[in-house]
């Protein structure tokens, strides 16, 4: 294929230093370097090629994943990669695999819930992958409601063992990644029963498969739960089903950091505070927010580059047609997605620092910010993943027909991404948790309890309930404090409004249930405010590089004003802005889009994604889209022969009117 | 599996006659009967089973589609099915196939654009499927902009032939369904060039493959364009690529109803009005709206039944947990989708009558309503398909984790549905067409030209620009004229507002391009008004059956008020309603959801879909979900052996620390 940069003219118009922006996006020069090295390492290794992934049948697909995982582990050891490097490497391999759960859930569960002794026993085995573990919580009948899980772990004092059992069909473990075909062990969540009493859900380390020949141990039924959304995508993962028929495990395989069962069967709580568990949740959700920014930026990168290549209409006097990226509707759909990717990147970065802060406080027995941090991460997980899922699909639509081809990379990206809206907490269930926290915060305002962290603005309630937005011209909307105040007023007024309506109901709980649709909207308003605030704060920091800050400023304004426009009803109903001011938002957005236009291709270059990672013929760095589409097409198995299999049996008899005789 | 109706209790609470509702949904008793018969015929025939579709590799999948198509044709002939029956049968087979394009595009193109003589020659061959045709318009480089197509058809007077040629890579035909592997013929759109002059795009009948052995004819390169979104889904279709190297066809294979080329090479327009072409477009888009209501109703049926089965949280004193359908957030997401399915059904029914009306007028040389009908169908195609695509994905999310399994049916339904947003006109491009029509209509209001059809309300502009909504209580929102007027005021005010802003630009065209994002919103407002109006009109008709009208009334209100709430910003900015009235909308919606709740399962039963057609373990009529999920899982090829393929090469060496020696 010819080596030309079809996007060179786009790159020439950029008004900022792309190398400096790459550092801002990566987080630091060091992180950029590590990412860059790992991305290239993966891209240059033929074992990690992935362009035929959507064409493989399940078994073949799964086998290539096993191969990639083994090869990655081999390379990690050979090259003595650090943990940071290894995790980046796995990220760029870009394929869900059992290792995600082993490193991301199994190991952290033991670290978080195991005693020192248990950690010493199990972690070295896990670190060397002498055992492979998964996280078996969800059951066929229960996901969101963890307290409803049915698997039992009954202590038998005669043998000093727990008996793990699946009493019903719906108690079958269902969904755990890595469980179906690979894991030798699992952290299994089950109802702890001892001395006839049910103490609720606890985690247990259970061996599932023989370490000799990998066959399931006696009493264990285990398998894969079958095909999932899309081709390729998450089908590389062996999400599994698991049933226990009175499986016995030693007592010391109950994870005992928080509570123990004595040799006699007495249930004892340790003095370690239960709140510690939350910090793991904050950690995991923080990584999910980071993943959201990566998935959205990837989709936006593909759609942006292709929109700059794709020409349609607008030719004058036989000259070239207009690139579709010049159409205002295309900009209005695409540019807020680029801005959101940046917004999520920065709120993710901030969440990481929040996690550090929370952990330090916990170690000092300070629980004062935990509930707020928990609500905040739950809300941001929900907000960013829902938006990203929709955003990827919008990027696909922005590519017209060609976005529907697997070779565009977008169908698989969507299919593999969307479960993020469901796992680690269904997004609506999470927003309801945020709403509960907001209602509590509002009710405590009168008691003088000061709201902390991301709810601190609520302390300013008197001002926010009656302030009036002072925007007079479209340019006034470039003022960060005008934006911030409008978002704060909207959030606080929606929350207060809900609280008032809830309090009219016969009981608080009834009111909450009845108004939950409104409460979800109030929670969203609060979470959007957080993202807007963190973006504004980011832009107010010192930022190196020619023109970098100016671009981030534009992106920040696009992010906020686009949200304002999309949720205009909220802002108007609460009187946070006037209809006139709402109209000025649209005007300012048009002007911001024009300012961003010469920079967009370079702004997505700053993500520094390799063509291997993007995995999209439409998103190629060089914009040389059409020959690539054409070449890729011919690789389809259907093109192995000019006349398709089945012609003689099913096409010819139709054409020749010989169907009556045909045996079908 | 046990035969119990887990949803019997839901069906008992219905307050209307489901059999009567089935007739309303189907359109008539006759249509219900035909549908019912065909659905059962398909469901009971093992050749049409489809539950392993998402597990098949492309070649195998494609072969089963060929088999189904041949078998269907055989059965159609054996049973002497009518056209209506045959088309219903194809619908319930529920698998995109080359026959869709043959019957849906190739035959109509010849009917619409061929002369009497051409029809007599080609149609009998096509009706008997002695030739199989496709519709080859889109190229690698051009979709939306049909005028930009590059394929040439140059007349050669020496041989009385057209020379069809692909001068560039981007001129390759790309996307036509049925082209890749099956079609023997195509209607090819190409630039007609004669006597050195380019007369623009015309349709030609071109033979592609030998009728003897199916091999591509000389000069023709043809193949499949490769894997598309999802597994199963649209991959049953051979969307194709096609290049011509100076392929010669007889002159009389130019479709000549509208224009001809004489033996000498003179280009001559016939006296048949070009507008006739529009009527085909109206027809095709009308069927797309009908399809939208079917796809959305199918997804809503699955999500509704499963939501009534799925229990999570809310258990009191160890009693059963609450079905998730009782949560207001679930209702707020799901019930408007059910209402929209009904809304689209009725607007589709109305569009069918519009098509008949337009056709009759055209035959009488009356073109007065054509432009309006064209804009209206373009807008409704866009509105209903975009909403349905999002709605299917929302239904999937409403099913929590299990919605992500292929066996839920929702992933495939989404993947197969979404191209409807792109083909037959990209949805944004279509809305821009509607917006252009609206701007024209507004500008003509002052000239006294009366707006017709769905824009007639604009004639009432003076009232609508200044009227005030009189709603005072939540119940006032049950008044159809209050709803209607609010939607009319919003639509007209948005259109007028856009027109004013456009007129401020240096040129009308520049203004239009610059404001196109706002214009799209105005177009959407107009289209939503049409759907609301037609639903209100439907409910005002005589409707048979106990309680049926009452349910439709509730659905109609939910449809309209949910839209009002979602687009509250529009209504408030235009002053069509006040913030207070906006808050009353939410209140009324809550009450409407409670009224609908006892009827929802029966309302989706009224679609009369067989379990075969639904293709979803979650949507089963009997609600017996869990055993079905469990059973289906074990059918995955990965479960053929307990220890997976690849264990020896890729898992064991990891566990046994023997990777260094392993050859990967
Ligand atoms: C790809 C994937 C990977 C996974 N990996 C793992 C894993 O490794 N280990 C593991 O243990 N699990 C795993 N899971 C399971 C996952 O954690 C659950 O699917 C998730 O918690 C959602 O629960 P659910 O499926 O029961 O949804 P449900 O709770 O049944 O949700 C169904 C619907 O009910 C609504 N709903 C539920 N409760 C309420 C309420 N109180 N109020 C209002 N609405 C409500 C939801 O919003 C949703 O619309 C995975 C799931 C997926 C899809
Ligand atoms: C499954 C499937 C089946 C198909 N079957 C057939 C078939 O049988 N025969 C056939 O001939 N074709 C077929 N097509 C092609 C289909 O008709 C085109 O994909 C469609 O017309 C869209 O054109 P495009 O792909 O060129 O999109 P583009 O026009 O390239 O769209 C890209 C982006 O540009 C935007 N855009 C384009 N023009 C403008 C404008 N003027 N103003 C603002 N924005 C604009 C669009 O909104 C979109 O976001 C099929 C396509 C698919 C996906």
Determine whether the interchain pair B638/A582 forms a contact, defined as Cβ–Cβ distance below 8 Å: no
Asked if residue A554 belongs to a domain, the reply is yes
User: CA–CA separation, B289 vs B287, rounded Å?
Assistant: 5
**Complex ipTM value:** 0.98
- Domain assignment of residue A313, yes or no: yes
Let me know: does B421 contact B386? Beta carbons within 8 Å: yes
Model confidence at B659: pLDDT above 70: yes
Q: What tens digit of pLDDT does each residue of A248-262 get?
A: 999 999 999 999 999
Question: What pLDDT is attached to residue A555?
Answer: 98
**What is the per-residue pLDDT for A279?**
83
Output the ligand 2 site: residues, CB below 6 A: A 310, 312-313, 324, 327, 329-330, 398, 400-402, 404; B 101, 135-138, 143-144, 175-177, 234, 239, 419, 422-423, 426, 428-429, 432
Same domain, A293 and A253: no
Domain limit, last residue, from B213, B244, B272: B272
Question: Do B288 and B247 sit in the same domain of this protein?
Answer: no
List chain A residues with CB under 8 Å of B406. Answer: 226-229
Q: Are B423 and B568 contained in the same domain?
A: yes
A424 catalytic per annotation: yes
Domain tally, chain A: 2
Please answer yes or no on whether B659 and A74 come within 8 Å at the CB atom: yes
| Lowest mean per-residue pLDDT among B265-279, B338-352, B438-452 | B265-279
B267 and B194 Cβ atoms separated by less than 8 Å: yes
Confidence of residue B1 (pLDDT cuts 50, 70, 90): very low
Shortest CA distance from B645: residue in chain A: A63
Sign of CA dihedral A571, A576, A579, A583: negative
Interface list for B 422-481 with A (CB within 8 A):
422-423, 426-428, 432
Write out the residue range of the structural domain in which residue B404 sits. Answer: 277-605
Q: Where does a domain end: A218, A242, A272?
A: A272
Q: What is the pLDDT of residue B405?
A: 98
Residue B405 belongs to a domain with what CATH number?
1.20.140.10
Residue B6: pLDDT over 50? yes
**Count of beta carbons in the 10 Å neighbourhood of residue B482:** 17
- Same domain, yes or no: B259 and B364: no
d(CA B490, CA B496): 10
What is the per-residue pLDDT for B316? Answer: 66
Q: Does the structure show a pLDDT above 70 at A414?
A: yes
SS (H, E, C) B348-395: HHHHHHHHHHHHHHHHCCCCCCHHHHHHHHHHHHHHHHHHHHHHHHHH
Residues A381 and A529 in one domain: yes
A181 with B644: Cβ contact below 8 A: yes
Q: How far is B504 from chain A (nearest CA, A)?
A: 13
- Domain-embedded: residue B90: no
User: In this structure, are A285 and A256 located in the same domain?
Assistant: no
Mutation pick for ligand 2 pocket among A309, A312, A323 (CB with most ligand atoms within 8 Å) = A312
Same domain for B330 and B233: no
Together in a domain, B421 and B570: yes
pLDDT above 90: percentage of residues in chain B: 93
Q: What's the gap in Å between A129 CA and the centre of ligand 1?
A: 29
Mean pLDDT in chain A?
96
Indicate the pLDDT class of residue A1, thresholds 50, 70 and 90: very low
CA dihedral of A316, A319, A323, A327, whole degrees rounded to 10: -10
pLDDT at B264: 97
DSSP string, A46-112: GGG--TTGGGS-HHHHHHHHHHHHHHHHHHHHHTT--HHHHHHHHHHH----HHHHIIIIIHHHHHH
Which protein residue's CA is at the shortest distance from atom 30 of ligand 1?
B400
Report if residue B236 sits inside a domain.
yes
Is residue A651 one of the residues assigned to a domain? no
B150 pLDDT higher than 50: yes
CATH classification at residue B172 = 2.40.110.10
Give the pLDDT confidence score for residue B317 in this predicted structure. 66
Q: Interhelix angle for B480-504 vs B548-566, to 10°?
A: 30
Query: How many residue pairs bridge chain A and chain B with CB atoms within 8 Å of each other?
Result: 406
Report yes or no on B459 lying in a domain: yes
Q: Does A407 touch chain B (CB under 8 A)?
A: yes
* 3-state SS class at B271: coil
Same domain, A289 and A392: yes
pLDDT band at A276 (very low <50, low <70, confident <90, very high): confident
Residue A567 has what pLDDT?
Answer: 98
Each residue of B603-616: pLDDT tens digit?
A: 999 999 999 999 99
Residue A136 has pLDDT above 80, yes or no: yes
Task: Give the residue from A573, A605, A637 where a domain finishes.
Answer: A605
- Cα(first)–Cα(last) distance of chain B, in Å? 44
B274 pLDDT higher than 90: no
Judgement on whether residues B287 and B242 belong to the same structural domain of the protein: no
Same domain, B421 and B524: yes
Q: Do the domain assignments include residue B91? A: no
Q: Are residues B340 and B461 in the same domain?
A: yes
Residue B213, Ramachandran bin (φ over 0: left; ψ between -120 and 50: alpha; else beta): alpha
- pLDDT tens column, B402-456: 999 999 999 999 999 999 999 999 999 999 999 999 999 999 998 988 999 999 9
String of DSSP letters for A572-627: HHTTSS-HHHHHHHHHHHHHHHHHHGGGHHHHHHTT---HHHH--STT-TT--HHH
Residue B660: inside a domain, yes or no?
no
pLDDT band at residue A317, thresholds of 50, 70 and 90? low
| A610 annotated ligand binder | no
Q: Is the pLDDT of residue A3 over 80?
A: no
- Read off the pLDDT band of B495 (50, 70, 90): very high
Q: What's the rounded mean pLDDT across residues B160-186?
A: 98
Is residue A663 very low, low, confident or very high in pLDDT (cuts 50, 70, 90)?
A: confident
Other Cβ atoms less than 10 A from the Cβ of B606: the count is 25
Tens of pLDDT, residue by residue over A554-564, are: 999 999 999 99
Please give the residue of chain A at the shortest CA–CA distance from B73.
A654
> What tokens does B191 get?
């630039």
């Amino acid at each position: 294929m010819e080596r030309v940069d079809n996007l060179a003219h786009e790159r020439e118009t950029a008004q900022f230093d792309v190398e400096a922006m790459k550092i801002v996006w990566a987080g630091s020069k060091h992180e950029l370097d590590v990412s860059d090295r790992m991305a290239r390492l993966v891209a240059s290794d033929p074992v990690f090629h992935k362009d035929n992934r959507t064409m493989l049948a399940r078994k073949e697909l799964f086998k290539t994943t096993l191969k990639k995982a083994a090869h990655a582990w081999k390379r990690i050891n050979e090259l003595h990669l650090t943990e940071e490097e290894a995790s980046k490497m796995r990220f760029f391999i870009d394929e869900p695999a059992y290792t995600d759960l082993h490193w991301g859930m199994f190991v952290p569960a033991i670290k978080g819930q195991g005693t020192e002794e248990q950690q010493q026993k199990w972690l070295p085995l896990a670190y060397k992958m002498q055992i492979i573990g998964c996280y078996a919580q969800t059951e066929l009948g229960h996901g969101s409601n963890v307290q409803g899980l049915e698997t039992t772990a009954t202590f038998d004092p005669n043998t000093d063992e727990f008996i793990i059992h699946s009493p019903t069909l719906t108690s079958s473990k269902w969904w755990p990644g890595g469980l179906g075909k690979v894991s030798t062990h699992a952290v299994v969540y089950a109802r702890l029963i001892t001395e006839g009493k049910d103490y609720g859900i606890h985690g247990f380390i259970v061996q599932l498969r023989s370490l000799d020949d990998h066959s399931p141990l006696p009493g264990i039924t285990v398998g894969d739960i079958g095909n999932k959304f899309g081709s390729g995508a998450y089908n590389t993962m062996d999400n599994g089903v698991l049933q226990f028929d009175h499986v016995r495990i030693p007592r010391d395989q109950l994870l005992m950091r928080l509570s123990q069962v004595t040799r006699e069967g007495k249930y004892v709580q340790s003095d370690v505070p239960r709140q510690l568990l939350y910090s793991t949740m904050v950690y995991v959700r923080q990584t999910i927010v980071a993943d959201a920014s990566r998935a959205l930026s990837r989709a936006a990168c593909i759609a942006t580059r292709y929109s700059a290549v794709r020409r349609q209409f607008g030719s004058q006097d036989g000259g070239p047609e207009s690139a579709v990226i010049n159409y205002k509707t295309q900009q209005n759909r695409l540019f807020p997605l680029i801005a959101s990717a940046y917004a999520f990147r920065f709120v993710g970065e901030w969440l990481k620092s929040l996690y550090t802060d929370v952990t330090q406080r916990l170690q000092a027995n300070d629980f004062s910010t935990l509930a707020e941090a928990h609500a905040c991460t739950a809300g941001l997980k929900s907000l960013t993943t829902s938006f990203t899922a929709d955003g990827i699909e919008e990027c696909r639509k922005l590519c017209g027909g060609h976005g529907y081809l697997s070779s565009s990379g977008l169908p698989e990206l969507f299919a593999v991404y969307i479960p993020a809206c469901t796992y680690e907490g269904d997004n609506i269930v999470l927003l309801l948790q945020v709403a509960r926290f907001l209602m509590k915060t509002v009710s405590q305002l009168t008691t003088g309890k000061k709201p902390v962290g991301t709810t601190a603005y609520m302390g300013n309630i008197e001002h926010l309930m009656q302030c009036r937005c002072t925007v007079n011209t479209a340019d006034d909307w470039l003022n960060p404090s005008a934006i911030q105040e409008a978002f704060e007023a909207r959030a606080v007024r929606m929350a207060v409004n809900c609280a008032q309506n809830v309090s009219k109901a016969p009981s608080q709980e009834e009111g909450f249930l009845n108004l939950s649709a409104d409460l979800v909207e109030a929670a969203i308003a609060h979470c959007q405010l957080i993202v807007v605030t963190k973006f504004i704060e980011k832009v107010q920091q010192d930022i190196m590089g020619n023109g970098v800050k100016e671009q981030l400023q534009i992106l920040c304004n696009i992010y906020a004003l686009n949200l304002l426009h999309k949720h205009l009803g909220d802002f108007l109903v609460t009187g946070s802005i006037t209809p006139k001011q709402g109209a000025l938002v649209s005007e300012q957005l048009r002007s911001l889009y024009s300012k961003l236009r010469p920079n967009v291709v370079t702004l997505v270059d700053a993500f520094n994604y390799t063509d291997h990672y993007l995995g999209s013929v439409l998103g190629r760095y060089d914009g040389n889209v059409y020959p690539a589409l054409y070449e890729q097409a011919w690789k389809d198995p259907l093109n192995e022969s000019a006349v398709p299999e089945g012609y003689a049996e099913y096409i010819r008899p139709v054409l020749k009117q010989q169907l009556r005789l045909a045996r079908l």
